[in-house]
Structure 1
């Protein structure tokens, strides 16, 4: 992997010197004590479900102190959790950090029970009257609507409390099993001109971007072998997590596993259906892109899975070092606004980013809010142009967090569909900046990186959506075997990629951590991509007007539905025509890629 400098590790030592420090111990103890005090306050004010309550001075006071206290303890949790997670996610072998995380989860389970009680308490009010009587309620009007909706699907208080307690040895524990296993997997890979080398799974998967097809194929085969070796415990984790979800969804009165995900995302089923219809209609176009790439690479009529991420540029043209990556991101961001460019500079200067691939570190990438307007970003930077896009994507999340900094935790509760707004908008900024000055050769490379990502977010994401739908439905009846999980994954890929994929990846259910955390964390990426393209179109139509409203939009992602926020820019997310128009932008890029690829052959 090319780099001119040592790849950065993040640094949170200004929060606490170490996990063994007195400062950390004091903060950790304060959080635990705060949860105990909050519980006593809830008991004092009878904050729980029950019969409707009158809006009067006493009940308004009970509501206000309860919500304010909950917001305060959630801010404390954010800071402590980020600090512990900064160790666990970069080294799963850190037993001290793992022990701290386990202890923290016990306190957060207790806090979760209190938040469930607060939802039930809110549902006892006439929310319109409460909002009129309380400034605190007025400031949280939309979150209170969502709280009342969640409460309508609650079990009894005792059952919800038991579910929260059991999650520590149930879904939460199984997620940790999955995370610990996958972060520690190493597999031998037969590398051309080097020989067999034992590599962490994250590094093996990164070889999918290597320009040498033999390397990619051997890495893919080694990856599949690795997942096969560990498939039984990983399948046990997935079955346990989805089995628990199926039981709780039924007890809470949800008709399907998707229903709570839509409710959490403030997205109506009609909106998702409109988007999915437009998505399915675009598959022939993406297959045309894939076949054009196969011809350009000279790998036959169709791509194998291990060709999906292959660069069309080779040698020095196909790689970028860390300085080049960060420089290109800052330049592109500066073209949009000084504030966005300043965020990138701050993240680099203040050591927000952990970019090095290393054993024990989790795969993929994420952005995590720490406190105030500060975030940290985990990457596995491999020198590919795709990893530059990932850097821009995660810094987009960090910028979003700066706009949420003055909101309370309940106001910051951004649904998945809107959580990807700033991140994918930043990817679009990167693409448009690159295309603006590129010659045909450079345009081909830029379009390939962009379409590779779009293909994943539209085509592959839909395969993951279909897989999770099928898995969730079947898991209601029984656990699924490794073979059945692989068959479901292969079938989902066949429905989306079609004949354009000559070799599939039956173990994507093991490779993607999203299945083991938040349910249906797949289609929101598609929503974010197409919504982001729509936003960029609004930006190009009137840059100054867009800039003046963009930060306000990001600061309000927890305060209104997706449809209401989109309407600020005259976007109708309930219309299939909107999603089709965004995909037409992608279709135009596919057409240009195919033309340039034909000329380059």
Structure 2
């Protein structure tokens, strides 16, 4: 759906007046100088891998000084890096922003090397003794214990340093290629009776059109466009997965997945329990697909029908409507959450307008302490409102991390979705309360559709990536082979719920999550986030006041312990498949209600 209102661009002037301003040049130079000073501090203090170090007063003083400066530099680098990336993500044709981003990469390599040296240094000492004798170490206990464990999977200092340097022209370069190529990709599409060249984000937005013929034409145009750029994207994917496999092997991880599980603060038992519960839910999602096909009065859903709107789909949620609704409904949970959202809207933290050169999708990124930036391509539908609430949830999580140091703010992807799913659920449940029959159908369908993407589709993406990593150990994969793996993973998950002749073979080209050497298996953490968030929401419904007392502290503590320990605060056992099935029961209830509505209208 389209909006009649102009959509906001975010305000970056509060940081610097612009990328070509003297203030930005000064800030850039100052940050680079801070990194150089940290290098000198680490060199002078011998912060690097050593033989076994004795924890004494001298070592404690060196550690506390190093941590203080390391945290400070990380904060300043974050602001500078995000400031630049905000220009790139909203306009990949901005050559000045691209140049500044490239310049910063050289300094980020040095910072990455310092991070590696710091980890190796901690691996050389008894961190438990350090934690026992230093208040600073005690405040960073989880980070230190993680570093100690990570140090066991490090290459030699020279190899780690070389890997960081090469990443600029390897993994990072391939990531940038995918981002730039896909954001600048124009697609030939017939819109309003005219053949036009439009950005891919506009084409993909047609998936929610009420007109099936428009959806079909957009889908076919999209596939044709991906086919044209499939060769360079396949090379990028092969190169990134090859790099990750090589480094995982050299760092003595059993697999890239094991390295990913460590990075996300969960173990294999948790992942297996969650995926097992997800597989048990596939028949329910296929039941939803069949009911949706019945509601659309078609024999079977095609891939391009997955996002087709139902119910009161003619309702236009103007951006101002979304703002009022979100601020009001967040207030039903807490005044602090509501005030946060109001601030995000009023202070220009949100970039909502789809436009040429702007990347597809949505995200939230911390900018500085309690201030974030929210990126979305807003659609004037309830789905657009829900997405906005989801990203604001990420920002609220950042707010609760604001007083933590950089080392304390480590946020694994598994826990990064906690507040976003919770906020999205608040909005969905609120919208259902006053909805009439048609609106109820639309809201239910949007909620189930989102859950379907995060459970069913994420499983397909996980299976695909797992197979790519395994086969990439032998050789590079061709476009046709990547298409084949993607189609098979979709068949294994969507099953007979979707017309098998209309699957999306190029989904591996669409999803930017595959194109990161630092964030392999970027998929399953979203499922964890949804189901963990729903499980927390169930606890909230059972005892609202008790839950509120611990919720903000939980968000503030996501960098202070592993997921299982944090979950235990609310009586959740992540190793138990029963917990994950219980979260999915909330989705099943929605599917039951949706199917009943469809049957009653038959």
Calculate the TM-score normalised by the size of structure 2.
Answer: 0.98
Residue equivalent to 2:27? 27
8 Å CA contact 1:211–1:314 kept in 2: the answer is: no
Residue equivalent to 1:269? 268
Q: Secondary structure at the match of 2:409?
A: coil
Alpha-carbon distance in structure 2 between the residues aligned to 1:582 and 1:495: 22
Residue equivalent to 1:215? 214
Alpha-carbon distance in structure 1 between the residues aligned to 2:161 and 2:62: 21
Residue equivalent to 1:426? 423
Deviation string for 1:471-514 (max 9, x for gaps)? 01111111110000010000000000001111211111000110
**1:305-384 superposed matches below 5 A:** 305-313=303-311, 316-317=314-315, 319-384=316-381
1:153 Cα deviation from its structure 2 partner: 0.5
8 Å CA contact 2:188–2:196 kept in 1: the answer is: yes
Q: Secondary structure at the match of 1:189?
A: strand
1:131 Cα deviation from its structure 2 partner: 0.3
Alpha-carbon distance in structure 2 between the residues aligned to 1:295 and 1:130: 64
Residue equivalent to 1:444? 441
Q: Secondary structure at the match of 1:89?
A: helix
Q: Secondary structure at the match of 2:16?
A: coil
Residue equivalent to 1:92? 92
Residue equivalent to 2:555? 554
Residue equivalent to 1:108? 108
Alignment partner of 1:279 is 2:278: yes
Residue equivalent to 1:58? 58
1:315 Cα deviation from its structure 2 partner: 5.4
Residue equivalent to 2:161? 161
**1:119-268 superposed matches below 5 A:** 119-191=119-191, 193-268=192-267
Q: Secondary structure at the match of 1:235?
A: helix
Q: Secondary structure at the match of 1:316?
A: coil
Q: Secondary structure at the match of 1:188?
A: strand
Residue equivalent to 1:570? 571
Q: Secondary structure at the match of 2:6?
A: coil
Residue equivalent to 1:541? 542
Alpha-carbon distance in structure 2 between the residues aligned to 1:217 and 1:327: 34
Q: Secondary structure at the match of 2:90?
A: coil
Gaps of 5+ in 2: none
Alpha-carbon distance in structure 2 between the residues aligned to 1:600 and 1:396: 35
1:314 Cα deviation from its structure 2 partner: 5.3
8 Å CA contact 1:321–1:383 kept in 2: the answer is: yes
Q: Which moved more, 1:121-130 or 1:87-96?
A: 121-130
8 Å CA contact 2:400–2:555 kept in 1: the answer is: yes
1:195 Cα deviation from its structure 2 partner: 2.4
8 Å CA contact 1:209–1:384 kept in 2: the answer is: no
Q: Secondary structure at the match of 2:554?
A: helix
1:4 Cα deviation from its structure 2 partner: 4.0
Between Structure 1 and Structure 2, how many residues are aligned? 598
Alpha-carbon distance in structure 2 between the residues aligned to 1:472 and 1:362: 26
Residue equivalent to 2:462? 465
1:58 Cα deviation from its structure 2 partner: 1.0
Runs (4+) off by over 4 Å: none
Alpha-carbon distance in structure 1 between the residues aligned to 2:351 and 2:238: 32
1:573 Cα deviation from its structure 2 partner: 1.0
Alpha-carbon distance in structure 2 between the residues aligned to 1:9 and 1:214: 32
Residue equivalent to 2:487? 490
Gaps of 5+ in 1: none
Alpha-carbon distance in structure 2 between the residues aligned to 1:238 and 1:530: 29
RMSD: 1.0
1:330 Cα deviation from its structure 2 partner: 1.7
Q: Secondary structure at the match of 1:449?
A: helix
- Residues 439 and 315 (structure 1), Cα distance of their counterparts in 2 relative to 1, 3 Å cut: closer
Alignment partner of 1:480 is 2:480: no
Q: Secondary structure at the match of 1:61?
A: helix
Q: Secondary structure at the match of 1:336?
A: coil
Q: Secondary structure at the match of 1:520?
A: coil
8 Å CA contact 2:90–2:357 kept in 1: the answer is: yes
Alignment partner of 1:48 is 2:48: yes
Deviation string for 1:491-541 (max 9, x for gaps)? 000000001111211111000110012111111111111111110111111
